[in-house]
Structure 1
Amino acid sequence: MTSSDRSSPLTGLARRGFARLTEADALLDELAGLISVDREELTAAASRSADPDEALSGLVRIARRDAEAVRQAAADAAAWRAIWNLAGASLGFGEFYLRHPEELVHLRGAGESLPADEAMRTAMLDSVGARDGFAESGGESAWVALRVRYRSILAGIAAYDLVQDDPTEVVDSVSARLADAAGAALEASLAVARTRISDPSAGTTAFPRAQVAATCFAIIAMGKAGAQELNYVSDVDVIFVGGTSDEDVVSESRAIDIATRLAMQTMRGISGAEIEPGLWEVDPNLRPEGKQGALVRTLDSHLTYYDRWAKSWEFQALLKARAVAGDMDLGERYVAAVQPKVWTSGARENFVEGVQKMRERVTDHIPADEVTRQIKLGPGGLRDIEFTVQLLQLVHGLSDERIRQRGTLAALDALVAEGYIGRTDATAFERDYRVLRLLEHRLQLRALRRTHLMPIKPDEQRALARSSKLAETGQGVLDLWEATKREVRDIHVRLFYRPLLSAVAALPESERTLSTAQAHDRLSAIGFRDPAGALRHIAALTTGLSRKASIQRHLMPVMIRWFADGVDPDYGLLAFRRISERLGNTPWFLRMLRDSSAAAESLTRVLSGSRYIGELMEWIPESAAWLDDEELLRPRSGISLQEEARAIQARHASVDDAMRSVRALRRREMLRTAMAGVLGVVTIEELASALTTITEVSIQATLRAVWPEVVPPEDGALDFAVIAMGRFGGSELGFGSDADVMYVYRANGVPAQRAHDLSVKLVAAIRQHSEDHRLPLDLDADLRPEGRNGPIARSLEAYAEYYRRWSLSWEAQALLRARGIAGSVKLLTAFFEMVDGVRYPHAIDPNGLREIKRIKARVESERLPQGADPSRHLKLGPGSLSDVEWLVQVLQLQHAHELRGMRTTSTLRALEAAREAGFIEDSDAERLRETWLLASRLRSANTLLSGQTSDALPTDRAKLDGIGRILEYPPRSASVIEEQWMGTSRRARRVFERLFYG
């Protein structure tokens, strides 16, 4: 044969869908010879399969092993079509028939209809010779026979599925038969288990056959199996219920022991290691107490648990419970008993938390590189559809029995029929669900294994397109999948959130999608504590014919969802309404809401997550514009703030007018920094630096403003300065921190008493004009010499005399963080030249060191608020900020004289210098640094969350979770936050006690 003669048939094979042309040409010849079927007939049959190359290759291998079995299959038109479809769509079935070619005989008539439930159950029980609930044998051969028969039944279901012109139309009926087949397999495996545990020769502990027979044992299917929407290869979630039918034969406790052994052997029969591979995993972890709970319980024990201890998500899981094997009367009694609890779970106190946990499970534990390939769990995947439908059922099913359906599609139909969702949206949602389930089915058929990942290889994508009949090419099926995901995400909003607008619109009752009561239920279910108030806000925002109302109507469903995901949806929505009303029809605001979903989402995040931000934004609504540009959220430099403050003062003639603008500047920049902190734009170090800079600029501007009002020109030689102390001096301010300060003056020829009086007036004026009832600035001078009993301001000479004659150890310690921030530069230079000898002594007095330690112990016992839990106090408790700061300050007093690197007001820089010098071990330094940073972050987050200053870690779980959200922990991280603080502070305390007191 010439090359041209040979190229013609190969070209024909390519047109028929073959890719490996030379191999296919040879295999067609071989198969024609093995089974005596015309090559052209083989070519035509193969080309109709999803993957002609794999179908041909698989069938040749089967024929090599048993040509007669294949020849007989070829004699039956239905079987012949089925085997090519199966081999082309499923490498797994190719392997199965290679192991068991004799099973091809069961494909006769395949594809014409789906097998009935009773027929499958009979076939499965016959495969193990079951009579009266016991199999003929309890040996491994029975399990092999069971698995072979199950796969043969599965092939019949798949043959029907693959032959459909539009397989999306039969997704629900195919899924139902798959669930029925799983129930039949469990029934047959249970029969083997009964024989196995009552037969001593089986190698397990034997129970008397009469006791096994008198043991009631029911298998309850959950999840997809319970809802009759199972996949080809999927874990089957189950709950086991046990009991006795005759106390005279077997006691209840003995029956539970027997039932537990039956459960273990039943699961082993389905998925244990045998010659024939396992079918699927039987997962019993939805039982009470999960993996830690008893494998089998009585019905009464189950009900006691659900009444006393069960969480909302457990009732939600029971929505799909269905008795599938074993004692069906016991199983149905179990289902009947738990169903009322499912539909009243929406009224439980922790229902919202349960719903939120359901949502988290959508994407939990998905590897990052798989998220975009996940058909089931990824965004826009099956779980999004199932969650939406199930949540609607749980919200409205409490009062409406007609929507209490197990299956997703049946529930969707009921929700449409009862008017909870619109028919158009529901039709699209149903179509998307069927497409995604079909893709999932075909992917699992490919290798007969559990998977939900869209394939990467082009040939596998092409086979998926052909087997699903959703597209002609691999790219076509990918495009369809992406479009489906986008629509699913959009419809979720339309189905659940958009109908809320109709409940507040001025529509006739007959035209409303939801009544006010139903809208109330939906808002309550997603976390709004005041649904009636939320409905009023939604109405105020969306009612009317203005452009603003039109944009809000379009955006509000999405924003409600974002608010619901936040810490405090009610406050977030209220604050958004107030800001919207303040801005009115401002063009840039409406444009931002309309065009920048990222900015709109960030707005909902900061408002629902921080009352501190919300209250400031109500006064500075134009700050919403910063959310559209991350650069606008970054803290401004000290130079730019100084320039603006000076410009403000140049524009205003009176001190009151000038200070009003300076206070506004401070509020605006504090808000900017808060928004940046909540949105993760800045680190904790950048945040502390920004807050310190804002406070410095405010004090400097205040001093400049009040100076002309207090100090007449003839006394202008007076020098005056403000010194930052504590965390302010260390540039370590957080939200809610006081600004510790000291005031110093130098007369420079002004009479001493006059200089003192003017300085005191300056202090009073600074305090008066820096006061801000909206955002307090507390200038705390308690760290001055003699504390509250000492003069509010001293001359440089008085400070020098005091420190020379009377200074106490704690006052030298306080000076370690002293830093000049405002006033006369010459005076500040002279002041620090004087105090450096005090705070960086040549040698620390042992008595002074003992006094510092005594004061620290007294602070811990006396300064904590009455009734406060020391372990939760972030400032004064064990392992808190004060432990780290006092230890570092002692090291500075001991070593800063000879080590210039420790001459810093920064706690962390001094700690690092001590580590580098070897005064503290690396591991100890890291533990101290870790607890200091964590405490600082927790304090600021606590203030941002509540808008109020507190040094204590809250005990309220909702507040702890809110703090976690601000710090970018996952939702419901209250326990994680608590455990992290307790562990971190405990480790730091051990270091502190060893180094400070040791």
Structure 2
Amino acid sequence: MSLPSLVAVPASLADLAERPGVALRARLAERGRVDDWPATRQEAFARACVASDFVAEQVQRDVEAFLALADSGELERSLRPGELRGQLQALLADCEQEDDLARRLRRFRNRQQLRIVWRDVNRLADLGETCRDLSDLADACIDLAYQWLYPRHCAQFGTPMGRRSGKPQQMVILGMGKLGAHELNLSSDIDLIFGFPEGGETEGVRRSLDNQEFFNRLGQRLIKALDAITVDGFVFRVDMRLRPYGSAGALTLSFAALEQYYQDQGRDWERYAMIKARVVGGDQVAGAHLLKMLQPFVYRRYLDFSAIEALRSMKQLIQQEVRRKGMSENIKLGAGGIREVEFIAQAFQLIHGGRDLSLQQRPLLPVLAVLEAEGYLPAPVVAELRDGYRFLRYVEHALQALADKQTQMLPEDARERARVAFIMGFADWPAFMARLEQWRERIEWHFRQVIADPDEEEEQAAGGEWLALWLGDLEEDSAIRQLAELGFASPEHAWRHLHDLRGSSQVRSMQRLGRERLDAFMPRLLAQVAEQDAPDQVLERVMPLVAAVARRSAYLVLLTENPGALTRLLQLCAASPLIAEQIARFPLLLDELLNEGRLYSPPQAPELAAELRERLMRIPEDDLEQQMEALRHFKLAHSLRVAASEFAGTLPLMKVSDYLTWLAEAILEQVLALAWRHTVAKHGTPKRADGSDCDPDFIIVGYGKVGGIELGHGSDLDLVFIHDGDPQAETDGAKPIDGTQFFTRLGQRIIHLLTTQTTSGQLYEVDMRLRPSGDAGLLVSSLAAFERYQQQEAWTWEHQALVRARVLVGSPRVAQCFEQVRGQVLGRARDLQKLQAEVSEMRAKMRDNLGTRATDAGRGENAFDPAQSFDLKQDAGGIVDIEFMVQYAALAWSHQHPELLRYTDNIRILDGLGAANLLPETDVQLLQEAYKAYRAAAHRLALQKQPGKVPGDQFPDSRRLVRRIWTELGLNWD
């Protein structure tokens, strides 16, 4: 929303500017400066006086001070960062007396308040600048008053010393609410909390004070300096009721006492308040430490849907107070008011902020931007909330500009209403109210979608027919009969599941609130399970998740509050026991079920990589534990989204493999960056042969499924590490090592990051056996050693593997060199008879060891018997035979057709064979269809946690086709 319009001062209000105008013109005439005030400036003056009694009174009271402000040019320009604080610092430089401190602070505040109101009502500053200037004014007054008082307080009572550290102690002043968020309005109270790092006593005086008593007294002096009303007015009204125990609590507390309070007794509304906490005065370093200590109280590491209940309860209390005091006209607390927009934003912050660090912000508008960017709320919703909030904040400023009073109540007096409509740029009060009601209705509607109790608008008994069964109020026979009537094929088994859960130690030991949440959730769950095609199977798969989260009931609230998420959960459980197990193991994945659009639309490769980079950028570089957790959660979340898209039919099999491969590449890119940064920090940067720094001259090569862009769910990674640094040259760090050692440690670090088990599992199983010389070889090969091995020592099967090898991440220069080596090795002319014999021999060994014995690996007379099984991968005519034929063809003919080496996946290599007329086009298409059909079947079986085998009578035509082409290529079966 743009700034409210400027309209001409109506004749009915012009008299409000007369008296201050007379005073101003008289003084200008005395000085001979009437010409200095052109018509435009006089109009701005009249507008400011009509909009604000405060401006009019300040001009009449001290017209000289007003003219000095006008002459400074500050009415027409924005202040530079730090300029306001610098002005106050200079003003207090020679201040010696506490009474003089109070006087200078108040006069400075009045001058700045006049400037801010002038710029606001004349549309010279937007909402952001006005709030920022007011907050900067408060910060400067608080901190500089404290800095003035502290040394004088120490001179009187001694310097407070920490009992543990033995160091001098300073106070930390936390600004809460709008001050903390840099959103202060024209007449805000300032909500403060005082703390100090350590207990102890003062030193340097004859009679010492306990540190708490010292800071209590100092806090009282600071409040007086800011809050007391004198002939010059006040600086800011100070509200200390947000401190622990409120008005009954100590004025100041040590960090330990603050941490203990919030850990043991902190209430939900205090979490809400702490979102905006910011150090506004005192010891900034200690204050940052305090906020970090309190962060776990505000932001839970898990999804915290209990926050919605807390916010809903707070809103209900506010609504009761509004009704009791007749405050429906309150634009902050009433329906569709400022507080509802704040509640919407802070609901998402409290729920998701522990994991999504981009939500850990204080100002509201940037939080709304994150909610849109990250898909928590649709863009049109955010646009309405943002514009409605801005409109309400402008209204709030209009109300408070009138008399410098903290109010959000719409006026009843007709003249006051006319002034508000004028300030907001409307012709009259009805026109203004029409727009205001429009915004309040939209905000209230959005608030209800996010915060309101679903039971308020739908029947209380959602799933109510299951409540008695779950609570155990029914006899067993009646319960089993109800389960049978509602579609369960084995009601006795289903009843036993429910009975065992209800009697389990997890449920029996739950606290009252958790048990209430479980009792609210289970009837809803059973009602939805009963609607599934196979309710017995779905119940069996979802019960481990319920048992896993019973003691972490915020997840139950998530599913209770979001029926759509529960529906999607049950659909996935019905589709795949593997996914059901994954969600039960890692309940944080439930977050992915909230947004249907995101769940079924995984991002493309560039967006995927960018999202992961952005996530890791928000984590401190030295916080390896959180980085590893972020990587694992990212993989879990996007793997789930791919699986969900697959079941929903929005991703075919080949695209599933693409996405899973892109996911692995995005993760490997960041893992390499983390490992490089850590190893360089410890040992310094390795060198190239020419003496320059490596950057990093290292690549990760993928073989097998990841190399062939054919990853499936749960696939491991076949990797090879290659570097092109100088093996002998030492690194340039504090603990130098030679290049060989450096790159070996880099490789070890990469494997550690990929395979370490954390609370979110491991990233990938890693297989390094395809590196030169296998398990007996070096973990990381130099490019020269890799080339030498491939040219002189590698077996044919290793060259077959190289057909599917490609660089996943790392140095572009070394990647290009690797491709040249690969092309030279694979593209040389070979003895076809020898190649046929070696490929056939290797394949025979695999069939003998891994194929189905009962059918002679698919070659026996009973191979097509439905009572037997066909191993999709290893039996004759299956997946590996197709892969071996493609690899044989690439090795046999790429010296004549180098285009066969362009791609590493079987489908596109087959395309190349057809294009070069090396295989008939019909055979190419049939092989591709067979390959995709086999992989699709194996994929489905893997998601059902079943081995990759089908009945023997499956795929007969495809198997015969593969065997025919195998023979036609000169390969044999023995």
Q: Which is higher, the Rg of structure 1 or of structure 2?
A: 1
* TM-score normalized by the length of structure 1: 0.43
